[in-house]
Amino acid sequence: MAKLKWGVIGAGGIADRRTLPGLTKAYNAELTAVMEIEQGFSDKLAAKYGADKAYTCHRELLGDKNVEAVYIASPVVLHYEQARDALNAGKHVLIEKPLALSVAQGDELVDLADKNNLIFAAGFMMRFHGHHMAARKMAQNGDLGKIVSARAQLTCWYPEIPGAWRQSYALSGGGALMDMGVHCIDILQFIMDSTVETVAAFTDNQTFGYEVEDGAGALLRFKNGAIGYVDAHFNIPDAAAEGRLEIYGTGGSLLCGGTIGQEEGGRAVLTLSGDVGYQAAQERAADTGASELPLTPGDLYQKEIESFGKSVLEGAPLEVPASDAVQIQRVVEAAYASSKSGSFIRL
């Protein structure tokens, strides 16, 4: 069976914790090279995951003829240059979000990938969660009726850390909303198959003193008429938040806990009532008909890598195109503008 040969740029951090373990389990992937700025660390990662080469410069890795695709997980400030160089080197690219520091840079990268006929995807691995995929199918089938309301939450505890690039606007492009809220926006759009058209938001430093916001709440109006809410925080302890996902329609609801995160877990409770009329609904109020959806947990990052490999090796449709990440970043930029101006922003 053919395997896509990967190079990883920025092989520490999330790559070491999540993506590289997933890549090594993927049936259609082979790790060829890793890159980190310190040679000793790069060598250590190469040995840990069985890579042939360890580099300290992304251009050296891109010059490796054995590398067919690259995964980029470096600080955001480096994304644009590294992705541009990879696409110009003829490599397929999977990149963590956001693609770059601005929508304009992201658009430029998407155009470059199209021009060079290369696969270019974004790291929204939460789309591959079994409960999220089931929710999308239910929404498409109309099982929940007309979707009218939705909410997604992703938070963590991220105190002030000297030198942390995510806490610098110039290095990250934004705080809790840009780093974590983008996943929430993506999941809501993915499930409803509808994009955001209007945004109102609050972003603030509620707890910590770093440059980017540590708390954000965004009210979203989707093109399908649904109203959504996203809350993203760097100032809520991990054990205090469940990563909620809630989808409400005229025919029922799907309430998930612990599904928005880096692992495929949590639970999803489905309640269907149907269009039964007011009186029947009152009579059935005591019997919710709720049921928990089954789930066989897997590895979201393994699924992400395998899906990307299918697109390159088999011509399968790309499930998470990078252009989606640019559109979501446009929503986030509108949210920041709304917070600053105190007004609704229509995209």
pLDDT digits (tens, 9 = 90+) for 18-32: 999 999 999 999 999
Mean pLDDT of the chain: 95
Same domain, 260 and 287: yes
Clarify whether residues 219 and 162 are in a common domain: yes
Dihedral angle sign, alpha carbons of residues 280, 282, 284, 290: positive
Could you tell me the pLDDT band of residue 288, with boundaries at 50, 70 and 90? low
Together in a domain, 136 and 207: yes
CATH code (residue 255): 3.30.360.10
Closest CA to 244 of 334, 342, 149: 149
Distance between CA atoms of residues 290 and 249, nearest Å: 14
Asked if 73 and 14 count as a contact pair (C-beta separation under 8 A), the reply is yes
Judgement on whether residues 33 and 51 belong to the same structural domain of the protein: yes
- How far apart CA 233 and CA 224 sit, in angstroms, is 27
| Residue 272 sits in the same domain as residue 337 | yes
pTM for this entry? 0.95
- What is the CA 261 to chain-centroid distance, rounded? 9
- Tens digits of per-residue pLDDT, 189-198? 999 999 999 9
Question: Looking at the structure, do residues 42 and 183 belong to the same domain, yes or no?
Answer: no
Helix or strand (DSSP H, E) at 247: strand 245-249
Classify residue 182: in a domain, yes or no. yes
Residue 313, in any domain of the structure? no
Q: Is residue 312 one of the residues assigned to a domain?
A: no
For residue 208, pLDDT over 60 is answered with yes
**Portion of the chain with pLDDT greater than 90, in percent:** 94
262 in the same domain as 144: yes
pLDDT of residue 5 exceeding 50, the answer is yes
In whole angstroms, give the CA distance from residue 217 to residue 235.
Answer: 13
Say whether both 288 and 165 belong to one domain. yes
State the CATH number of the domain containing residue 71.
3.40.50.720
Mean pLDDT score, 193-219: 98
- Our measurement of the distance from residue 284's CA atom to the centroid of its chain's CA atoms, rounded to an integer in Å, reads 38
CA distance 113 to 99: 13
Same domain? 169 vs 57: no
pLDDT number for residue 290: 86
The model's confidence at residue 285, banded by pLDDT at 50, 70 and 90, is very low
Considering 118, 150, 177, which residue would you say is the last residue of a domain? 118
Residues 228-253 have pLDDT tens digits of: 999 999 999 999 999 999 999 999 99
Short-list 243, 250, 246, 290, CA closest to 270: 290
Q: Does residue 62 fall inside a structural domain?
A: yes
113/166 same-domain check: no
Domain span at 24: 4-118
Residue 12 and residue 111 in one domain: yes
Number of domains in the chain: 2
